[in-house]
Amino acid sequence: MLTNHAKIMQFFSVVKGVTGRKKLQKMIYILQSCGLPFEEKYQFHFYGPYSEELSLRMEELCNLGFITEQKEEKSSYFQYRYEMTKDGEKFLHQFSKDMPQLEEKANMIIEYSSRFLELVATMLFFRDLPRDEVIKKVHTVKPKQKYTEKEFQEAWELITKLHA
């Protein structure tokens, strides 16, 4: 019944913590695009792919006491940091861990900024288009981000490594 919750918990057992709701959304989307069995449905939203299901699962995991959500004040805004609790670790032990590539792939993306992960996730959202069309689409839907050619190149390299 809580299998999808357990997959999110398994993610947290690997990354230990994530700062930022946007970063969490993009990381799960990117991992899902690599074939990891996260089942959240995504739609395109203000900051790229977004899953209401993931937001609800995170809220439930926090309410159950399996994940902590700590509000951190930045210079002009608030960010949320998520970490697994001891109760969350106990909960996770009840489930089989069947995501062998999770650790490798999650560790490949955890250190990137949410801005860069937003670029990667957006590119993956339009992955059925030719590369030049993906770049045009990103510039169209994210004009304020002003992504550079270098950032696109770095994102393509990461996508290639993740899907190898």
Q: Retrieve residue 54's tokens.
A: 């993931």
Domain that holds residue 29: 3-162
Task: Provide the 8-state DSSP code for 97.
Answer: -
Query: Residue 97 has what pLDDT?
Result: 76
pLDDT at 28: 98
pLDDT in tens, 123-157: 999 999 999 999 999 999 999 999 999 999 999 99
Name the stretches of the chain with pLDDT < 70.
1
What pLDDT score was predicted for residue 152? 98
pLDDT at 68: 97
Number of structural domains in the chain:
1
Q: According to the model, what pLDDT value does residue 1 have?
A: 60
What residues are paired with 43 via a beta bridge? 50
Radius of gyration of the chain (CA): 16
Q: Residue 65: helix, strand or coil by DSSP?
A: coil
Q: What is the pLDDT of residue 74?
A: 81
Q: How far is CA 33 from CA 73, 90, 157, 162, in A?
A: 31, 28, 15, 9
**Alpha-carbon dihedral angle through residues 127, 80, 90, 41, given to the nearest 10 degrees:** -30
- The answer to whether the beta carbons of residues 23 and 114 sit under 8 Å apart is yes
Give the strand pairing for 78-84 and 67-73. Answer: antiparallel
pTM of this structure: 0.95
